[in-house]
Structure 1
């Protein structure tokens, strides 16, 4: 499968293809599942949307909400009504106005559409009402400190209402670049939207995202001039990039994680010993040497993880320590569970890094009595299988949100949108639901701590590491600032002729 991706890209490399000064070519590790923000599940979708679909609010390097489509906002005294004001004279890519009526249509769709992936993110909204063309009010069922962070991402992205039905393949959005075409598993092409409010700050006439799962191919294309930039450099290539006078490394700590999600109740996959018995899952975690993954695959950049919140988050629980690597204890737990030998399949996206991690887990697991069959698939196929429950374990991660709710609720609350594990614990869901609306920091953190104490025992997700976001750019590129979210903003970015 990797050869299918690599051949046309290597042909491009061998042909000596170079990019034009007014074109930006960016190498992505994965393909998107679709181009509709309401239905999107992939991180790379967010990367593309950053250039294609503006949100109501934005998030900068300081992880604070700031104006994007909305120029200002205010809360009522009990934090149950959010009134927002749009910038005037905004238009979608088809020329239709971005007004309060369009915002209402987008939020209503995200809340009510049956296949919306944004429902849980906006579940606190009771109604959206139009005040006038530029002003609208969001009424909540209860206070929700997570709402603004959600509106800075896909839940707050605006699509022209006349094009809702075709958004998944041909979105008409509101960002600095508009959609031109997509070749699945190969490329996505955008062109500059000349009527964008800050058009003067965007210096490329064309932006092309190239899908290149193989990190070696991405880096080779960057060096040959076939790319201007790549995301998610393989850690083993960092020394080589640093020593290359024609390249520049821009890295930043992420707010996300990578982990192994275990099917404990999502369809037939949850009926295996691994899914049914937490002792088997605990044994698997003990068999995995997270620091070895950090050193061998991450070259010391993959901070070992035990929870969804990074050490830079105020909600990080310092009492939760990274699990020890203990093969003998893992064997003892399997014997106690009556399953000294356990077989299961691990699916993962066919990228170089995922392949290396999967092979390491397979070898580590074998030492304790686990027979792990590896199955590399296309990224979108992996998501489809995870959503349907057609898996035992899936090696995947999350780009992260600056509010803690975005890193835990939708993955571990009962029947939530990204709960691939099928995990359901009423106490955990209750704590996470309460944390969503708790305004006091100490009280909110305790709710997350209480939920995590249960999650650490049940282990529907084995957290592996907190990844950095390493970007590599040609020396011809200037003005790029990496974001902790891993997204790519082209505002102010230029390229030498």
Structure 2
């Protein structure tokens, strides 16, 4: 067990919202992944330059024409409950991701046919067909290793007291108040960890979160608002770090997820196109983010090598939006309900959209929800449109496949198009970047027409840090990694 010294180093991190369930197989929230960065090690990790590097695996190799991935594993790792990490534990984790009824990782590991335990610390993952995305998936939640014994004993309740192998172990959670972790004394890389505890505090209000940082009540601020950037940079008590994100924000439209898809918004692509044309994405970026982010209309940002230049960001066209509504039979306008998280930025974004859409005859009603509730409602189909996004993944597949393919783990839209599935599955199988991009472009052409997701912008991750906190590195995935981070007077 961890013992606390009289001079314990306690780190407090202010999050924009509370995490959802703390089970890597069941969870989907961005803030949950921030907690996992300290709680649950993965088979592999990434560098700030997006290179895949060892974590629980020390090395890997591809054989059999890309259908076999063999890992050699660390031999000095145990889970927080004292059980061993080994090849058998990896095999059991993969099986859980594939078979747990509530697992959201199924589509991410769907290419895995079986595993072969070669020795105590070596495992082969056998694929049904080549999958160029798998290693990147294992650098995220699909690769997070949990104690198989604890997971088996607790089932779907595992997230109430998660047991992983990361630098910190779970202590307690009070919903909407705090998540507390303590240093794991048997961690394989414990010499790089300089805090006795880390406490994650959900503080949805940007102004309050910044005030807490300026006063020293928190030491790291997750997602500093672009509108607060100047104030933070002028403070001698705060340092600012940033990284361009891999993800996006947008409006997910319910086109096939339950009864609430049976509306014009779910059944007629023309009204979704009208909504998209009513929005000026560049003005949205300037008004809400002081131009600090990037306007977007695809799963990949405009500076990404995967961006489809044949479909540039559309200019706002209110006349075209009205014409599309009229063509669909709604000459007197149409009402749309948008679910929105109860935090500052999403509210500001949707209020700007609300004003723009009104000029095209679309009456937007905003329904504010606590973020975990919004996620649950989106999964259940209890929405018409939802302002939600994605933090992004190293491989492009992670930004698109699970959101728009039939049975995808986060296909809250309920979108179904066999041709899109075919193209995105083809992109998974090729190791040639140009071949993959052609598949993404062809899929994007269909998605731009049918709009199950209306993409809006791509954000920049901005962190505020107390000035005595040193060693922090900014990563494009937005995670807060604590190796090498410490207080320095």
- The residue number in structure 1 matching 2:83 is 96
1:456 maps to which of 448, 453, 465 = 448
- The residue number in structure 2 matching 1:388 is 380
- The residue number in structure 2 matching 1:22 is 9
- The residue number in structure 2 matching 1:34 is 21
Is 1:82 the counterpart of 2:69? The answer is yes
- The residue number in structure 1 matching 2:232 is 241
SS in 2 for 1:361: helix
Distance, in Å, in 2 between the alignment partners of 1:398 and 1:447 is 21
- The residue number in structure 2 matching 1:372 is 364
- The residue number in structure 1 matching 2:321 is 330
- Deviating above 2 A after TM superposition, structure 1's stretches of 4 or more consecutive aligned residues are none
* Per-residue CA distance 1:227-262 (angstroms, 9 max, x = gap): 001111111101111111111110110000000011
Is 1:168 the counterpart of 2:156? The answer is no
Unaligned runs of 5+ in 1: 1-19
SS in 2 for 1:121: coil
Q: CA contact under 8 A between 2:296 and 2:302: conserved in structure 1?
A: no
- CA drift of 1:66 comes to 0.5
- CA drift of 1:21 comes to 6.6
SS in 2 for 1:296: helix
SS in 2 for 1:168: helix
- The residue number in structure 1 matching 2:396 is 404
- CA drift of 1:126 comes to 0.2
For residues 59-458 of structure 1, what are the structure 2 equivalents within 5 Å? 59-164=46-151, 165=154, 166-340=157-331, 341-458=333-450
Distance, in Å, in 2 between the alignment partners of 1:159 and 1:135 is 18
- CA drift of 1:312 comes to 3.5
Unaligned runs of 5+ in 2: 1-6
Is 1:472 the counterpart of 2:464? The answer is yes
Q: CA contact under 8 A between 1:202 and 1:490: conserved in structure 2?
A: yes
- CA drift of 1:425 comes to 1.0
SS in 1 for 2:65: coil
Q: CA contact under 8 A between 1:269 and 1:390: conserved in structure 2?
A: yes
- CA drift of 1:77 comes to 4.0
Distance, in Å, in 2 between the alignment partners of 1:276 and 1:441 is 35
Distance, in Å, in 2 between the alignment partners of 1:292 and 1:311 is 17
- CA drift of 1:415 comes to 2.4
* Per-residue CA distance 1:204-248 (angstroms, 9 max, x = gap): 001000011111111011111110011111111011111111111
- CA drift of 1:313 comes to 2.5
Name the Cα RMSD after superposition: 1.0
Q: CA contact under 8 A between 1:39 and 1:116: conserved in structure 2?
A: yes
Q: CA contact under 8 A between 1:40 and 1:117: conserved in structure 2?
A: yes
Q: CA contact under 8 A between 2:247 and 2:399: conserved in structure 1?
A: yes
Count of aligned pairs between the two proteins: 478
- Which piece of structure 1 moves more, 284-293 or 160-169? 160-169
Distance, in Å, in 2 between the alignment partners of 1:150 and 1:300 is 32
Query: Taking structure 2 as the reference length, what is the TM-score of the superposition?
Result: 0.96
Q: CA contact under 8 A between 1:82 and 1:139: conserved in structure 2?
A: yes
- The residue number in structure 2 matching 1:44 is 31
- CA drift of 1:32 comes to 1.3
SS in 1 for 2:400: helix
* Per-residue CA distance 1:366-424 (angstroms, 9 max, x = gap): 11111111011010100111001110000000000010100000001122111111111
SS in 2 for 1:293: helix
Distance, in Å, in 1 between the alignment partners of 2:406 and 2:158 is 29
Is 1:53 the counterpart of 2:47? The answer is no
